[in-house]
Structure 1
Amino acid sequence: MPWHLPLAAAGEPGADLTAGQDGATIRRTVLPGGVRVLTEQMPGLRSATVGAWVGVGSRDETDGHFGSTHFLEHLLFKGTHRRTALDIAEAFDAVGGEANASTGKEHTCYYARVLDADLPMAVDVIGDMVTSARLDADELETERGVILEELAMTDDDPSDVAHEQFSLAVLGTHPLGRPIGGTADTIGAVPRAAVWDHYRTHYEPGTLVVAAAGGVDHDQLCDLVVHALSEGGWALEEAHAPRERRDGAATTDGIPAQGEVRTIDRPVEQANIVVGGTGLAATDDRRWALSVLNAALGGGMSSRLFQEIREKRGLAYTTYSFAAGYGGLGTFGLYAGCAPAKAEQVEKLLVDELERLAAGGITAAELERSVGQLRGGLVLGLEDSGSRMSRLGRAELVYGELYSVAESLERISAVTRQDVLALAQELAGRPRSVVRVGPFGKD
């Protein structure tokens, strides 16, 4: 029978929960200090991926702290009171492991993939980084230059610029509209004191989720986490509750009431066009219908955008639709890269396909094909420990429940043509923004 694991409310310590699927065992425990630990033990796997998810992202930054979240992602690798930056790098290289981190709008994740026998080392190093980063002033200034180069690299990619400007156009001054990595101005201006304050405010037991998948023993991981965090000075003795999950009814303050048109001049060979507006929140029950809609409209080679713009007319090499969901809000858009002389035609085709979907929905054949695409992609995407670890972390921080593969497949299969039509009509009727990046001239 399909199952889903309803995770305890973030504000409640809860009890140890166990459930199994596909030969794997999933367990969740809330440690006394409020740290949540989730594991998926995958029989026969000799590797494991572990991630420390901190429930803070760019949307949580306040005035004077903008860019701090991304800064911390870099600085935690630059040394602790027990390890230098070289020590951290050598620890993973010496065992053939991989370590990295990512910053999002609502969370930051530090993760590593190692052999199962090296999991204690990985937990110890990542725990040390999360609890005991030095944020050395000289290292901070060095890394400031690295981040500025990273932002410059992004600014040199016109498709990245188009998507970033799309978020700004659709979300306006809402905290979710800010660039995840910060801007050259905010990174250049943020002082060490602000980064340190951001670190001490948000990196604490109640915001931390440790997720691991692969060759991992749940009870052993809990012991390793307690030891590593205690070594870093975190108090885990008292029964503190985790921080509450984000409110699904987040404020829409700052989001423009009307769509916006932005044209950014860049001396490049292609025009990059994004059209769209607000979408669905991450926890919206209609996210299953949105995934089907997205697949049919611009999710593959058989999608409407690909067939109409690339295959039939030869106007673009890359075209697709996309959706992103956050706490209380989301975005939905369509993208194409084309010759500047064809930009107006391609922009119209993007809009036409969205409105055609809203007018007539999808066919039975499109529904069947999109469901099949999503079902296959879901299963294939969970073939490695890293993707399963990420699924655990997001389930805990965002959804508050974890669906089995079987139930997820059922949810996708249950989407109807009417579900897709109703959602397409709603999305097409919302304020629409257009972003163009290319050699359009200063005017």
Structure 2
Amino acid sequence: MTSRSSRTTARTSSEGRAVARTQTLLKGTNGAGTVRKTVLPGGLRVVTETLPSVRSVTFGIWANVGSRDETPSLNGATHYLEHLLFKGTRKRSALDISAAIDEVGGEMNAFTAKEYTCYYARVLDTDLPLAIDVVCDMLTGSLIEPADVDAERGVILEEIAMTEDDPGDCVHDLFAHTMLGDTPLGRPVLGSVDTVNALTPERIRRFYKKHYDPTRLVVAAAGNVDHAKVVRMVRAAFEKAGALDRTDAVPVAPRDGSRAIRTAGRVELLNRRSEQAHVILGVPGLARTDDRRWAMGVLNTALGGGMSSRLFQEVREKRGLAYSVYSYTSGYADCGLFGVYAGCRPNQVDDVLKICRDQLDQVAEEGLTDDEIRRAIGQLRGSTVLGLEDTGALMNRIGKSELCWGAQMSVDDMLARIAAVTPDEVRELARDVLGQRPSLSVIGPLKDRQADRLHDAVA
């Protein structure tokens, strides 16, 4: 990621001590908004993208904590905590929180990932002060009452059960475990029935106190916003909660590391009665900070990113073996995954796997054609822009960029990086990534002899 700082200002106290630092990171051009960042005392970062032409605002707070920060016994704590922050604060009950946003026609939600958690509200621009007050109150004043912990435990257990009932969803958790084993990244974000049942209010409160420090938070707002006003309102909300008392604190740096995935040829099969078998064939991919990620995006798009992709054409269009077939990448701070998913009838798993494996081997050995790469670059450029057409997507981009990279990249720069990918770069990456021995995860009604053949498929 790149950051362009055109102006920096610092406000000072009466004693001359700097209390805030503000930067203009990106100047709005070609329809994009101006992106500004302020670091408040206490290490809290506030990033905004101003778009005066819209009437909505999405306000969010990103926490630098995900399921990879959990010990085995705490697996599921991050997601559990996400639920509990909606259950009430010193100022508001759970009903007050939801009613406040509903009353103005807004939307509020949250999501937990393996390396971060985000809480957000989308409202009319005139209702931004309310959204800031409600979301900041949730993040700084959650009570985490024992009664709420017990009540929400049942909700989360139902969510786990719902995931288990959807093998097309569950197979992605299985694939993470196949590739990463019993590690924080390999365990499910939701946790398990046993770990969720074992979590107590005291353990969750300790987790909350440790990971929701202002130095680990990024506030992001996109839409018709005034940066200075957002900063003032956020600062007032956090100071009122006593969350900015450590005036010498600095923000935590983005995650880094050098974890290598050495998995090769692992197979995990989950025998389950269902109409389809759900298959993921995959290899270690790239970390999200890898400079080759632009070429990886092109490779992924050409292989399984659309209706004209290799896998879609070979598996669905030509042979009708699956309704859903695609490839995807998952990038973390220090490693990544590349996977090919297909859902098919159980008696067609062998055929689908052979085609997918043959295509991966062929692209690794021979590369993609120039036409495939050109088409993938155009598709990726278009989807990048179309995916940023609302304030929610813009808030996600600037918040995640600050938290994960510590920098911002303009849309024009992103499009330029994609356009600059060369066929030779894609082919070299294909040899490096797709040339690895794959691993396999399958959920479905499998017979013993079929299971033996699936092990042979990755040999």
Q: 1:20 aligns with which of 5, 24, 27?
A: 27
Task: Report what 1:244 is aligned to.
Answer: 253
Looking at structure 2, the residues matched to 318 and 234 of structure 1 have their Cα atoms a distance apart, in angstroms, of 47
Contact 2:179 2:263 in 1 (8 A): no
Looking at structure 1, the residues matched to 437 and 44 of structure 2 have their Cα atoms a distance apart, in angstroms, of 41
2:36 counterpart of 1:5? no
Q: 1:394 aligns with which of 394, 397, 400?
A: 400
Letter of the 1:432 counterpart: P
CA shift for structure 1 position 237: 5.9
Q: Structure 2: which 5+ runs fail to align?
A: 7-18, 452-459
Task: Report what 1:10 is aligned to.
Answer: none
CA shift for structure 1 position 426: 1.1
Contact 1:137 1:192 in 2 (8 A): yes
Task: Report what 1:94 is aligned to.
Answer: 103
Secondary structure of 1:403's counterpart equals: coil
Contact 2:72 2:184 in 1 (8 A): no
Q: 1:330 aligns with which of 332, 336, 354?
A: 336
CA shift for structure 1 position 379: 1.0
Letter of the 1:141 counterpart: D
Task: Report what 1:385 is aligned to.
Answer: 391
CA RMSD after TM alignment: 1.7
Q: Structure 1: which 5+ runs fail to align?
A: 8-12
CA shift for structure 1 position 240: 1.2
Output one character per residue of 1:187-237: Cα deviation in whole Å (capped at 9) or x when no partner: 111122111110000011100100010011100010111111122221346
% of aligned pairs identical? 50
Task: Report what 2:293 is aligned to.
Answer: 287
2:277 counterpart of 1:278? no
Q: 2:415 aligns with which of 393, 398, 409?
A: 409
CA shift for structure 1 position 371: 0.7
Contact 2:264 2:283 in 1 (8 A): no
Looking at structure 2, the residues matched to 210 and 417 of structure 1 have their Cα atoms a distance apart, in angstroms, of 39
CA gap of 1:358–1:34, structure 2 versus 1, over 3 A, is same
CA shift for structure 1 position 106: 0.5
Contact 1:81 1:134 in 2 (8 A): yes
Contact 1:127 1:232 in 2 (8 A): no
Task: Report what 1:69 is aligned to.
Answer: 78
Task: Report what 2:14 is aligned to.
Answer: none
Task: Report what 1:193 is aligned to.
Answer: 202
CA shift for structure 1 position 440: 0.8
CA shift for structure 1 position 172: 1.1
Task: Report what 1:135 is aligned to.
Answer: 144
Letter of the 1:5 counterpart: R
CA shift for structure 1 position 14: 8.8
CA shift for structure 1 position 76: 0.2
**1:414-433 correspondence runs (5 A):** 414-433=420-439
Q: Once structures 1 and 2 are overlaid, which stretch shifts more, 279-288 or 58-67?
A: 58-67
CA gap of 1:408–1:14, structure 2 versus 1, over 3 A, is farther
TM-score normalised by the chain length of structure 1: 0.95
CA shift for structure 1 position 258: 3.2
Q: 2:363 aligns with which of 346, 349, 357?
A: 357
Contact 2:253 2:406 in 1 (8 A): no
Q: 1:212 aligns with which of 217, 221, 244?
A: 221
Secondary structure of 2:4's counterpart equals: strand
Looking at structure 2, the residues matched to 258 and 322 of structure 1 have their Cα atoms a distance apart, in angstroms, of 18
Q: 2:114 aligns with which of 105, 113, 116?
A: 105
CA gap of 1:6–1:335, structure 2 versus 1, over 3 A, is farther
CA shift for structure 1 position 32: 1.1
Task: Count matched residues.
Answer: 434
CA shift for structure 1 position 278: 1.3
CA shift for structure 1 position 331: 0.6
Letter of the 1:81 counterpart: R
Contact 1:4 1:407 in 2 (8 A): no
Q: 1:224 aligns with which of 233, 236, 241?
A: 233
Letter of the 1:55 counterpart: N
Secondary structure of 2:27's counterpart equals: strand
CA gap of 1:244–1:4, structure 2 versus 1, over 3 A, is closer
Looking at structure 2, the residues matched to 433 and 64 of structure 1 have their Cα atoms a distance apart, in angstroms, of 27
CA shift for structure 1 position 174: 2.7
Q: Relative contact order: is structure 1 or structure 2 higher (C-alpha 8 Å, sep ≥ 6)?
A: 1
CA shift for structure 1 position 325: 0.4
Q: 1:55 aligns with which of 64, 67, 74?
A: 64
Contact 1:6 1:402 in 2 (8 A): no
Looking at structure 1, the residues matched to 191 and 405 of structure 2 have their Cα atoms a distance apart, in angstroms, of 26
Secondary structure of 2:441's counterpart equals: strand
Output one character per residue of 1:373-408: Cα deviation in whole Å (capped at 9) or x when no partner: 011111111110000000001111112222111111
Letter of the 2:114 counterpart: K
2:155 counterpart of 1:156? no
Letter of the 1:428 counterpart: L
Looking at structure 2, the residues matched to 216 and 185 of structure 1 have their Cα atoms a distance apart, in angstroms, of 45
Contact 2:304 2:325 in 1 (8 A): yes
2:275 counterpart of 1:269? yes
Secondary structure of 2:371's counterpart equals: helix
Secondary structure of 2:49's counterpart equals: strand
Output one character per residue of 1:233-280: Cα deviation in whole Å (capped at 9) or x when no partner: 213461310112111x3334xx55433111111111111110002110
Output one character per residue of 1:284-326: Cα deviation in whole Å (capped at 9) or x when no partner: 1100000000000000000000000000011000000000101
Output one character per residue of 1:68-91: Cα deviation in whole Å (capped at 9) or x when no partner: 100011000000111100000110
CA shift for structure 1 position 186: 1.1
Secondary structure of 1:250's counterpart equals: coil
Looking at structure 2, the residues matched to 281 and 161 of structure 1 have their Cα atoms a distance apart, in angstroms, of 23
